[in-house]
């Protein structure tokens, strides 16, 4: 049996909604945590970056790191952490990962032409 919408029921329902809305306004907003998997502030990682960097470090592969402002840093990656790379070329340079636009292996066929044209 379906209950009919009587004026008394409508008034009671609207009062409950008003109470809920005023109660929600008084509760301070809290950050939402979806699950324990997202509990840390670290982004979800596939470890592909870690594997690639370790491989280049062990092989001492000459790399070109292109920064956001267009500067190029050439050299071998000595070490890395979650925020930076240390590149050994003519000098040793600490490069923040947030400043890196892209990187590639020095002398890789086609890379010089592709990326030097403003890409």
Structure-token match 């590149």, residue found: 87
Closest CA to 118 of 100, 101, 104: 101
Q: Stretch 33-49: mean pLDDT, rounded?
A: 61
Q: Quick check: helix, strand or coil at residue 20?
A: helix
Please tell me the distance from the alpha carbon of residue 44 to that of residue 67, in angstroms, as a whole number. Answer: 24
Show the domains of the chain with their CATH numbers.
Answer: 48-116 (2.30.30.100)
Mean pLDDT within 108-117 = 63
DSSP string over 46-59:
-SHHHHHHHHHHHH
Confidence of residue 109 (pLDDT cuts 50, 70, 90): confident
The answer to whether 93 and 84 are in contact (CB under 8 A) is no
Across the chain, the runs of DSSP E, i.e. the strands, are 62-67, 72-80, 84-88, 92-96, 100-105
Tens of pLDDT, residues 83-100: 999 999 999 999 999 999
pTM of the complete model beyond 0.75: no
Q: What percent of the chain is modeled with pLDDT above 90?
A: 48
Question: Taking all residues of the chain, what is their mean pLDDT, rounded to a whole number?
Answer: 77
């Amino acid at each position: 049996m379906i209950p009919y919408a009587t004026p008394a029921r409508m008034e009671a329902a609207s009062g409950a909604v008003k109470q809920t809305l005023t109660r929600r306004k008084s509760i301070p907003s809290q950050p939402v945590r979806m699950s324990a998997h997202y509990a840390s502030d670290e982004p979800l990682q596939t470890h592909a970056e870690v594997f690639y960097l370790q491989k280049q470090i062990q092989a001492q592969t000459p790399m070109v790191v292109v920064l956001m402002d267009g500067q190029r840093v050439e050299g071998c990656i000595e070490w890395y952490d979650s925020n930076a790379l240390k590149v050994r070329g003519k000098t040793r340079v600490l490069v923040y990962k947030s400043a890196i636009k892209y990187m590639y292996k020095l002398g890789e066929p086609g890379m010089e032409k592709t990326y030097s044209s403003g890409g």
